[in-house]
Structure 1
Amino acid sequence: MKKLILWLALAGLASCTPGGYHLTNRTASRIGVDSVTAPADASVARFLTPYRQGLEKTMSEVLTRSTARIEKGQPDGPLNDILTDALLQQATQRYGKPIDCSHLNYGGIRNNLPEGNITTGSIFEVMPFDNQLVVLTLTGTMLQQLLDHFANGNKLVVGGMRATIHDGKVQSVTFANGRTLQPTETYTIVTSDYIADGGDSANFLKNAVKRETLNYLMRDALIDYFRQQGKSGQPLMPTSDGRISLN
């Protein structure tokens, strides 16, 4: 049984003097608050019931199925790949123009996806934060800086490209759209507002050539993607395509 412990401090004050009030003594009492001393209010429980039932129904919606657990990994993993591919696809649809690549903060992936039914609740467990999708336009030099920054520690999670990491630096970058990484060219990348705002020490992204917010939560993009996958009637078969390799 969980208890909420409240400490009440009582202070005795002397009479008012020209110097003001002065603390003369202090006492404390410990009061345990639990289901015995503070039983649930039945009227409040009844009021919340339809909201709880609605939430449970939403969270239990089956979006698609998987033949195995989909797990994240370093330097690459099935969950890394499917999430960044999903964000790239959904962001491109919302943006209405091609986007070169996607990026996801490795530490922001909070759980794996289960074998069997993947529900809305499963996506909330993977992505519990209300982060928005942001499209950044970066020079090739800035994109290289971004890739190197997250490659350090093998935490680079990207979609729409393949790359090799050597001594914490990214080499041999190739994009799925056929482009190559050139310092003076510009590229579009979809990532979270957390990273775009300089999270994970990526402060250099505040100097992006252009920033565009899609008004689309990352979590909602993932829910939309997995719901679309479910409509195909075919279960997911998680694999890693080796887009990030070590040399």
Structure 2
Amino acid sequence: MKFFKVHIISLYALLIIAFSACNSSSYKISNSEVNYILIDSLVGYDQGLEDEIKPYRDSLKAEMLKVIGTAAEELTGGLPESLLSNFVCDLVLEESRSLKATVNPDVSIVNVKGLRIPISKGPITVESVFQLMPFENELVYLTLSKQQITELFNFMASVGGDGIAGASFGIKNKQAVDVKVNGKALEDREYVVVTSDYLADGGDHFTVFQSAIAREGSGLKVRDAIVQHIQKQTSANKNIESQLDRRIYHAD
């Protein structure tokens, strides 16, 4: 119960801040005092608090334990490509292409380190997707020049690969070789990459994204895209599957 007490106190404090923000009056702090309250085994059990929280906890638990699909095999992460990252990148590219009529991404990038657990063979629950993708990252569209997308692929090659869809390349001397986008050699044009806002901000050393020619939000979280895709597959009586197809490979 000590954790619930901490969360309720935090929620109460946030509500005070929120209501204060809605008030047009101006306030100044005249005095402040800090007291530390130890939360340990000596804190008594509060049945009233438990009764108040239980309906919400039970409702959330029921939602999280919903089965939304079935994995035909275990999908694990790894480099240079993996069943897990291929699956997520493929669905991100597919789902993002249907979001906006004016944007048609060529490539999707998802860092495999951001996929926190494998997808186990068998039933897939909402909870397992939250464990796979616990972050509130949103998908964004980035426009890159030929030079920038070459830099992107060279960076990915230098770290041994990562999650990608819509493109392929070999790794030789830590450089990207035989680069193809949608099965074609790179052309002198702009390319649209869909990725998470975390990577778009330069996270995990994807600094090339910070100098993108253009950036546009999608309004769709990565986790929601995963849930949405799995539900679509289930509605079509399809299991969740993936494959290794040499989208990134060692050419040495």
TM range (shorter): 0.7 to 0.9
Higher strand share: 1
Q: Does residue 228 of structure 1 match 2:245? A: no
Q: Does residue 62 of structure 1 match 2:74? A: no
Find the partner of 1:173 among 169, 172, 179: 179
CA RMSD of aligned residues (A): 1.9
Higher helix share: 2
Q: Deviations over 1:67-96 (max 9, x none)?
A: 221111211111111100010011111122
Structure 1 position 120, deviation (Å): 1.0
Find the partner of 2:207 among 197, 203, 225: 203
Segments of 4+ moved more than 6 angstroms: none
Identity of aligned residues (%): 29
Q: Deviations over 1:170-217 (max 9, x none)?
A: 1112223x44213x3100000111111111222332221110011111
Structure 1: tracts of 5 or more residues without a match: 3-30
Q: Distance in 1 between matches of 2:209 and 2:82?
A: 26
Q: Deviations over 1:25-73 (max 9, x none)?
A: xxxxxx97533x1122111111111111121122111111012211112
Q: Distance in 1 between matches of 2:201 and 2:238?
A: 38
| Greater Rg by CA | 1
- Does 210-219 or 200-209 show the bigger shift? 200-209
Number of residue pairs matched by the alignment: 216
Find the partner of 2:153 among 147, 151, 154: 147
TM-score (structure 2 length as normaliser): 0.80
Structure 1 position 166, deviation (Å): 0.9
Q: Distance in 1 between matches of 2:149 and 2:114?
A: 20
SS of equivalent to 1:118: strand
Aligned partner of 1:100 in structure 2 is 106
TM-score (structure 1 length as normaliser): 0.82
Aligned partner of 2:46 in structure 1 is 41
SS of equivalent to 2:180: strand
SS of equivalent to 2:99: helix
Aligned pairs (5 A) from 1:69-218: 69-96=74-101, 97-176=103-182, 178-182=183-187, 184-218=188-222
Aligned partner of 1:14 in structure 2 is none
Q: Distance in 2 between matches of 1:237 and 1:219?
A: 18
